[in-house]
Amino acid sequence: MKLKVCGMKFIENIQQVAELKPDYLGFIFYEKSPRNFEGIIPELPKGIKKVGVFVNEYLEIVVSLIEEYQLETVQLHGDEPVEYIQKLKEYLPKVEIIKVFGIKDEFNFEVLESYEEVVDYFLFDTKGKERGGNGVTFNWQALRDYNSTKPFFLSGGIGLEEVGELQSFLKRKESQYCYAIDVNSKFETKPGVKSVKELKKFKKSISQNS
């Protein structure tokens, strides 16, 4: 099971978390977020992919920031249509694309069909007031209706308290296409600062159940 740590902000904390060698580190480029990133990304250990998180951003800005920060992956957290993603792929065909969809108790998975050809992964987050970082989980049973073979990231309020429930989920059929776990606010001491100690515990718990 892959691990993505999102909402990184400060250089020293980025370096500390990178030592744990998560598979992905996420940087949020969204001015309304308390984790909005404007700093410098230090050199990371080989194998960690840098993810840029965007919300309904102008395509030219997305492309510019991908090139500036040498991002390998883009996470689209807004209402970006298929045509937007097609254009992004034309500009940068080698960049991985994750498209986010919010879920609460149920979800119409048919809306994913038109995106299947243009994205590498889906990400399911909790539908809430904010665009991510709400700190609450959604009803994972909704994923029983997942009708795609596209791998997905599981996100939304996942922390150490959810380990038992997560381990149970990963043994169930609806998790068969779960590619990665995405964590953020539940591991913070303040917005953008992650507890390395708690992340280390969490990484160990999910690696035992991969």
152 CA to centre of own chain: 10
| pLDDT tens track for 18-39 | 999 999 999 999 999 999 999 9
The answer to whether the Cα torsion of 92, 60, 4, 164 is positive or negative is: negative
Question: What number of residues does the chain have?
Answer: 210
pLDDT of amino acid 168: 94
pLDDT of amino acid 176: 94
The band of 105, judged by pLDDT with boundaries at 50, 70 and 90, is confident
Tell if the pTM clears 0.85, that is, is over it.
yes
Contacts 24+ apart (CB under 8 A), 158-163: 158/182, 158/183, 158/186, 159/183, 159/186, 159/187, 159/198, 159/202, 160/186, 160/198, 160/201, 160/202, 160/205, 161/186, 162/137, 162/186, 163/202, 163/205, 163/206
**Mean model confidence pLDDT for the chain:** 94
202 pLDDT above the threshold of 70: yes
What is the C-alpha to C-alpha distance for residues 80 and 18, in angstroms, rounded to an integer? 30
Give me the residue label for tokens 């997560």. 166
How many other CB atoms are there within 10 angstroms of residue 60's CB atom?
Answer: 9
Do the bridges between strand 152-154 and strand 121-126 make them parallel or antiparallel, or are there none, so unpaired? parallel
